[in-house]
Amino acid sequence: MKNFLLALSLVLSVNVQAAVIKFNLDASDYQVGDTISGQLVVSDFSGLLGAFWADMEYSTSGVSVLGWSFGVGFDDGLGSLSIGNNDSVSGILSLEEYSDPFADTAILTAAQGTAFVLANFTLEALSAGDYDLSLGLFGLLDFDNADVDTTAENARFSITQVPEPATIVIFALASMMLLRIKRKQRKN
């Protein structure tokens, strides 16, 4: 009996799957001055979700936040409570969204599906280097306000310096062309 209970608990623990919050970026390599577009996505959840919160941590020397918006997974058409705050000194974009407790669960279920976008964001690439987007505090609640076992996947990307135009070479070529034109005019 003891072995049976141990085996049963092992099977149940292996089948438990945690929801995953991860970043999707439009590319992995950028140049200084580029706009970085990304999404915060949740997947691998079971049941209806009712809320999320996440602190997106970023390097203030590498990127700056241009803007953000929330997905539609917690909105049944009559609205949801969404809160966003960017601390550009600490490099933390805090995002929270809660569905209305009286929301139409059929509409929420259809909107959430098996994975959905929690939030969209845009960043500006400021300086060259390798950077990470990571989640500090984060979590999910199901529609009954119970905690959902959640893991996070961070994102890594590179920013390179845009090559400066070779102004000296351009100036030298232009000067040589002017000299050539002057010589032709003197010969004529």
Q: Tens digit of pLDDT for each residue in 9-30?
A: 444 444 456 999 999 999 999 9
Q: Is the predicted pLDDT of residue 144 greater than 70, yes or no?
A: yes
| CATH code for the domain of 72 | 2.60.40.680
7 in a structural domain? no
Q: Is 126 exposed, middle or buried (0-12, 13-18, 19+ CB in 10 A)?
A: middle
Residue 167 sits in which domain range? 18-187
| pLDDT confidence tier of residue 168, bands split at 50, 70 and 90 | low
1 in a structural domain? no
13 in a structural domain? no
37 in a structural domain? yes
Give the pLDDT of residue 5.
43
59 in a structural domain? yes
- Considering the entire predicted model, what is its pTM? 0.78
45 in a structural domain? yes
Give the pLDDT of residue 162.
72
Whether the CB-CB separation of 22 and 139 falls below 8 Å is answered with: no
131 in a structural domain? yes
Instruction: Express each pLDDT in 31-88 by its tens digit.
Output: 999 999 999 999 999 999 999 999 999 999 999 999 999 999 999 999 999 999 999 9
2 in a structural domain? no
The structural domain count of the chain equals 1
Q: Is 67 helix (H, G, I), strand (E, B) or coil?
A: strand
CA proximity to 159, closest of 68, 43, 19, 62? 62
